[in-house]
Amino acid sequence: MKTKILVYQLFVLCTLTVIFTACKEEEEEPADPNNGTVTDSDGNSYPTIKIGNQWWMSENLKTTSFRNGEDIPKLAGSGEWASTGEAAYCNFENDSVNAEVYGCLYNWHATVDGRKICPEGWHVPNDDNWTTLIEFLGGEQVAGGKLKQTGTEYWNSPNTDATNESGFVALPGGVRSPISGFFAGLGTTGSWWSTSVQNADYSFVWGLTSSNGAISHYDLNKNSGLSVRCVKD
């Protein structure tokens, strides 16, 4: 009888040891608190990264619908793109393959439309959001390199000073002209909207190039087609 009790006690002890070890291993491998994902209204999932005290998408937005499910107008023709005063998007060179890699290009009107293009709990950044990001990364003269994806698979050579140490994974999605509707800059230029406005016709933009490690702050016509990143509310 004593032998049976001893065997049973050993069995219980071994079982508890296995359970405790498994739980401990799970506790020792927590999810990375500085990474996550977010999903847009089309069902596209984006990796996210915490940079300083802000959460940013680490891919360009590619939704084709507003948060409420309504379609964002897709304007392929040069004339209709240049003349619209409403929210619109397109793909670089009107090729959906480009959108899969670099995201869509949006005009400024889409970024401030009341139906929202960013997922719930996220928004298109204003200049304050961008400035906070850039200052955390050391200022405009060096932050660009810390934002850019490394190598020359996407950025044209020389992709100067690119380290992507921030995890932002900035890609050169190019731009669309607000005048002619023509496309330019794929591989050499990445430009992102700010919702902060300069005047009735121009809004501020933050841009990177393959030729240096700085990030530039300037303004463009609101009918320009640019990339969009979302930042958490």
Each residue's pLDDT tens digit, 107-126:
999 999 999 999 999 999 99
pLDDT, tens digit, 9 for 90 and up, residues 207-233: 999 999 999 999 999 999 999 999 999
Where in 159-215 does DSSP place strands (E)? 173-176, 183-186, 189-197, 202-209
Structure-token pair, residue 71: 């379609």
Number of domains in the chain: 2
Residues 152 and 210 in one domain: yes
Q: Is the dihedral of CA 69, 114, 45, 170 positive or negative?
A: positive
With contact defined as beta carbons under 8 Å apart, do 61 and 228 qualify? yes
Residues 15 and 125 in one domain: no
Residues 132 and 165 in one domain: yes
Residues 51 and 145 in one domain: yes
**Spatial CA neighbour of 91 closest among 67, 80, 75:** 75
Give the whole-angstrom CA distance, residue 154 versus residue 172. 7
The DSSP annotation for 30-71 comes to PPPTTEEEEE-TT--EEEEEEETTEEEESS----SB-TTSPB
Residues 17 and 69 in one domain: no
Hey, what amino acid is at 75?
L
State the pLDDT at residue 33.
77
Categorize the per-residue pLDDT at 22 as very low, low, confident or very high, splitting at 50, 70 and 90.
Answer: very low
Residues 55 and 69 in one domain: yes
Q: What is the pTM of this model?
A: 0.86
Residues 25 and 50 in one domain: no
